[in-house]
Amino acid sequence: MASIKKGVVYLLLGILVVTQVYPLLWLILYSFKTNEEILGGSFFALPASPRFANYTEAYEQGNYVRYLFNSIFVTVITMVVVIVLASMVAYAISRFRWKLAPVALLVFMLGLMIPMQATLLPLMVMFKNIGILNTHWSLILPYIAFQTPVAVFILSGFMKGIPHEIEESAFMDGASVYRIFRSIILPISVPPIMTVCILTFINIWNEYILAATFISSERLKTLPFGVNSFVSQYTTNYGNIGAFLVMGAIPVILIYFILSERITKGMVAGAVKG
């Protein structure tokens, strides 16, 4: 009976791996093929001769560096601000003794229920009135607003489990609240902070709706929007499209595989200590 259960588990995991990994492998093979092989060959067929020129042409014709830099700029600023704000808010909610702490946490959790699409029109009007429409700030500010509730939820759950004796000892030694937060709480909270960083990175890096709505200038487009523009421009050059799609996915794949263990540790730590 145990062997049957194990076999079923392995079968389900195998199906999950195939369904998740196969599209990526297919896209990589797709990116090395010519138009003739793509249109006339089997999906499972290997390219007769890998066409590396697809990547060269996609890199040169698709403004990849510009889109990549814009995405890095927007994502890094968003991540830094989210971590700073969320860590301070989580510290205040989870470590200070005040009656409105649950209410404050509830207010941030309500932010998780607001769909991004419902904010497009009012945000566009607001940004147009204050003059930041079609700038990177029209992306950074909403990204911060939508990512902060998740970060507060993860960090506050972890910080609640930190023993109060640590802070009490620091107070006895004359440390201020800011010193305790900077020198004790933040170093202890590195695992969930890394989780927040990675989740924020993935969410912001792949975001398309706000980028397509608030950015119209070619020089300000982020990578997902740039990928869509490239696909629209080179609709008949399938190999180049595949190469550009792979190049657009590489940063997220690398970040996830390099830091995936930290994601697991941070999530488990937050769940256990919360």
Token code pair at residue 256: 């996830």
Residue that the structure tokens 């990547």 belong to: 55
Token code pair at residue 143: 């990204």
pLDDT at 273: 46
Cβ partners under 8 Å of residue 152, min gap 6: 86, 89, 90, 93, 105, 108
Fold of 63-230: MetI-like fold (1.10.3720)
pLDDT at 271: 45
Alpha-carbon span 135 to 132, nearest angstrom: 6
Token code pair at residue 169: 């000892």
pLDDT at 76: 92
The count of residues in the chain is: 274
Alpha-carbon span 118 to 178, nearest angstrom: 37
Alpha-carbon span 271 to 221, nearest angstrom: 37
DSSP secondary structure letters along 51-91: -THHHHHHHHHTTHHHHHHHHHHHHHHHHHHHHHHHHHHHH
Per-block mean pLDDT, blocks of 10 residues, the chain (274 long): 75 77 79 80 73 85 87 93 92 83 85 84 91 92 92 88 80 80 86 86 87 87 83 76 85 76 56 44
